[in-house]
Amino acid sequence: MKKSQLGRRTFIASSAGLVGAGAAATFASPAISQNRRKWRMVTTWPKNLPGLGTGAQHFADQVTRATGGRLTIELFASGEIVPAFESIDAVGAGNIEMGHGAPYYWKGKAPATQLVSNFPMGLTAQEYNAWYHFGGGRDLCDELYRSALGCKFLPCGNTGIQHPGWSRKEVNSLDDIKGLKMRMPGLGGEVMSRLGATVVNLPGSEVPGALASGAIDWAEWNNPYGEASMGFYRYAKYYYTPGWHEPGTVLELFVNAEKWDSLEDELKAIVENCAYATNQVMLAEFQARSGPVLDSFVNDHGTIVKELSDDIMREIGKVSGEAMQDLANSDPMAMKIFKSMIEFRGHQIRYTNVAEGSFIKARALEYPFPS
């Protein structure tokens, strides 16, 4: 899709621009009073939503701070000036300078964005960063976002491994999946649908009620920290693992391409480094806070953590690969990105399994240790 197709309407006459340059030229003012800009960042999150909204705010604050206000980022929550799912249009058209969201929200405009988010049985957060910085990911993401969305892309957050969901029923075999009423959006839902589940789309606000009433048997959300306030443990006893469907979902900064190109290299460097730092800080928050929340689910609320069997996971792996191949076949840019990611993935499976995997398993054995 061409950039010109994206600007469906002009939301707001641009009020961003240069201020103070005239005054600064008349005397030897401090550096930071010259060439000040104010940029707006629209997000797809409610204001200060824990983890996602607060992470986007962290990014905005760090850029403002690191530029001494030469580039001030003002954050707008979803719906404040642009509806969440129109954010990319507003930024692509140049009416807003930047935005923060999740790549797969834009699948209707560019199917390949689903892969930029990561994919079922794909990469861990650590591997995704490795692919982005040292596996060709940066150039491919930039090519996609520039050509299809009129934007510069930067990774700016990661949820880490997401849990596949809360279930009212035990799932011990592939037969148990057939007819299971599951709330699981995106590519994960596509895989479960191919395995015979009845996949239901529900907005987040309706999910707890549907699980409580039995209208759905299974609800996917994100991770323990993100689920703490949803109360799913009240309605479903089983908390399933592994998070094969979203093994490290990337969150994005998207910047209008022309506005990005107009930035001095110094400001580009600040935005890039603040985005990469935020990428780490957001993942750190989900990691830090999910541990105690999961302990509380188990110890205080009687949640039973259950692992899907190897038989089920092998079939999920096979069907995930088929679904990804179909996605790649549907779109040339998706194919280009998919080829890069699966080649990279192929070289990471053994290493991550004997490095991260082997250590994590051994550490969880029973042995005395100070606490």
Which parts of 241-260 interact with a second copy (CB under 8 A)? 241-244, 247
The pattern of x and - marking residues 294 through 333 that bind a second copy according to CB under 8 A reads: xx--x------x-xx-x--xxx-xx-xx--xx--x-----
Among 44, 129, 222, 303, binds a second copy (CB under 8 A): 129
Distance between CA atoms of residues 367 and 38, nearest Å: 55
Choosing from 93, 216, 283, 337, the residue that interacts with a second copy (CB under 8 A) is: 283
Tell me how many degrees the CA angle 80-84-86 measures, rounded to the nearest 5. Answer: 105
Secondary structure letter of residue 161 according to DSSP: B
Min separation Cβ 366 and a second copy, Å: 7
Candidate list 2, 265, 300, 302; residue touching a second copy; CB under 8 A: 265
Q: Which of 180, 236, 274, 333 binds a second copy (CB under 8 A)?
A: 274
Please check if 183 is assigned to a binding site.
Answer: yes
Q: Could you tell me how many residues of this chain bind a second copy (CB under 8 A)?
A: 108
Is position 134 an interface residue for a second copy (rule: CB under 8 A)? yes
CA 369/CA 323 separation, integer angstroms: 44
Q: At 208, which helix (H) or strand (E)?
A: helix 207-213
Per CB under 8 A, the segment of 7-15, 142-150, 211-219, 351-359 that binds a second copy is 351-359
User: Measuring CA to CA, which residue among 76, 101, 106 is closest to residue 11?
Assistant: 76
Instruction: Please choose, from the candidates 103, 127, 130, the residue with its C-alpha nearest in 3D space to the C-alpha of residue 115.
Output: 103
Q: Check the annotation: does 220 bind a ligand.
A: yes
Map the footprint of a second copy across residues 213-232, applying CB under 8 A: 223-224
Shortest reach from residue 214's CB to a second copy, in Å:
26
170 touching a second copy, by CB under 8 A = no
Q: Which of residues 37-76 bind a second copy (CB under 8 A)?
A: 62, 65-68, 70
> How many angstroms separate the CA atoms of 94 and 7, rounded?
8
**Is 350 one of the annotated binding-site residues?**
no
Q: Which residues, 6 or more positions from 239, have their beta carbon under 8 angstroms from its beta carbon?
A: 163, 165, 166, 167, 233, 297, 303, 304, 305, 306
As a whole number of angstroms, the distance between CA 75 and CA 73 comes to 6
Q: Which C-beta is closer to a second copy: that of 7 or that of 50? A: 50
Give the CA radius of gyration of the chain: 22
Q: Residues annotated as binding site for substrate?
A: 162, 183, 220, 246
